[in-house]
Structure 1
Amino acid sequence: MSHGSTKAVLTAVAGNSLVTIAKFVGFMLSGSSALLAEAVHSLADTANQALLYLGLRRSVRKADDEHHFGYGQERYFWNLVSAVTIFFLGCVYTIMHAIEQLRHDHSPEISLIPFLIIGFAFIVEGYSLIVALVEFKRQYREAGKTFRQYFVETKDPTTLAVLIEDSVAVFGLLVALAGIGLAAYTGSAVFDGIAAIVIGLLMGGLAYFLASMNRKYLLNHSNEEVDEVARKIWQADGQVQHVQRVNSIVLSPEDTLLMAEVELREETIFSDMTQEEIARAIQFMHKLDDIRRSLEGDVSRIAPETKHIFIEFTTPQDKPDKA
Structure 2
Amino acid sequence: MAQEQRGGSFLTVLVAFAANLAVALAKSVAALLTGSASMVAEAAHSWADTGNEIFLLIAERRSGKRPDDQHPFGYGRDVYVWSLFAAVGLFTVGAVVSIQHGISELTADEPATDSLVAYVVIGFSFILEGTSFLRSVRQLRGTAARAEQDVLEHVLQTSDPTVRAVFFEDAAALIGLVLAAAGIALHQITGSAVWDAAGSVAIGVLLAVVAVVLIQLNRRFLIGQSPSPRVVRAVLRLLADQQDVASVSYLHLEYVGPARVFVVAAVDLVGDAPEHEIASRLARLGRSLEQDEHVVEAVLTLSEPGAPVLGVADGPLSARLPG
TM range (shorter): 0.7 to 0.9
Would you tell me which structure has more helix in proportion to its own residues? 1
- Whether the 8 Å CA contact 2:37–2:101 is kept in 1: the answer is yes
Counterpart in the other structure of 2:33: 29
**Cα pair distance change 1:111/1:153, threshold 3 Å:** closer
**Cα pair distance change 1:17/1:217, threshold 3 Å:** same
Counterpart in the other structure of 2:317: none
List aligned pairs for 1:2-17, cutoff 5 A.
2-17=6-21
Candidates 89, 94, 100, aligned match of 2:98: 94
- Whether the 8 Å CA contact 1:250–1:256 is kept in 2: the answer is yes
Counterpart in the other structure of 1:262: 267
Structure 2: how far apart are the matches of 1:238 and 1:39?
A: 59
1:269 counterpart letter in structure 2: D
Candidates 210, 222, 226, aligned match of 1:222: 226
Query: What's the offset of the Cα at 1:49?
Result: 1.4
Candidates 127, 134, 140, aligned match of 2:138: 134
2:260 counterpart letter in structure 1: D
Counterpart in the other structure of 1:121: 125
Superposed CA deviations along residues 10-69 of structure 1, whole A, max 9, x for unmatched, are: 111001101101111111111111001111111111111121111001111111121111
**Cα pair distance change 1:116/1:3, threshold 3 Å:** same
Secondary structure of 1:103 counterpart: coil
- Whether the 8 Å CA contact 1:182–1:192 is kept in 2: the answer is yes
- 1:207 and 2:211 matched: yes
Structure 2: how far apart are the matches of 1:131 and 1:6?
A: 12
- 1:195 and 2:203 matched: no
- Whether the 8 Å CA contact 2:180–2:199 is kept in 1: the answer is yes
Structure 1: how far apart are the matches of 2:147 and 2:198?
A: 42
Counterpart in the other structure of 2:57: 53
TM-score, length of structure 2 as denominator length: 0.78
Moved over 6 A (4+): 235-242, 310-313
- 1:147 and 2:151 matched: yes
Counterpart in the other structure of 1:64: 68
TM-score, length of structure 1 as denominator length: 0.78
Q: What is the root-mean-square deviation in Å for CA atoms of aligned residues? A: 2.7
Query: What's the offset of the Cα at 1:215?
Result: 1.1
Query: What's the offset of the Cα at 1:153?
Result: 2.6
Secondary structure of 2:251 counterpart: strand
Superposed CA deviations along residues 73-127 of structure 1, whole A, max 9, x for unmatched, are: 1111111011113323321121111111113445543431111111111111111
Structure 2: how far apart are the matches of 1:119 and 1:149?
A: 30
**Cα pair distance change 1:180/1:221, threshold 3 Å:** same
Structure 1: how far apart are the matches of 2:241 and 2:18?
A: 51
Counterpart in the other structure of 2:166: 162
Structure 2: how far apart are the matches of 1:43 and 1:131?
A: 20
Counterpart in the other structure of 1:247: 252
**Cα pair distance change 1:67/1:23, threshold 3 Å:** same
Q: Which has the greater radius of gyration?
A: 1
Counterpart in the other structure of 2:313: none
Structure 1: how far apart are the matches of 2:99 and 2:111?
A: 17
Structure 1: how far apart are the matches of 2:152 and 2:26?
A: 34
Structure 2: how far apart are the matches of 1:256 and 1:125?
A: 33
Structure 1: how far apart are the matches of 2:221 and 2:113?
A: 47
- Whether the 8 Å CA contact 2:9–2:163 is kept in 1: the answer is yes
Q: Which runs of 5+ in 2 are unaligned?
A: 280-298, 303-323
Q: Give the fraction of aligned pairs with identical amino acids, expressed as a percent.
A: 35
Structure 1 stretch displaced more, 110-119 or 165-174:
110-119
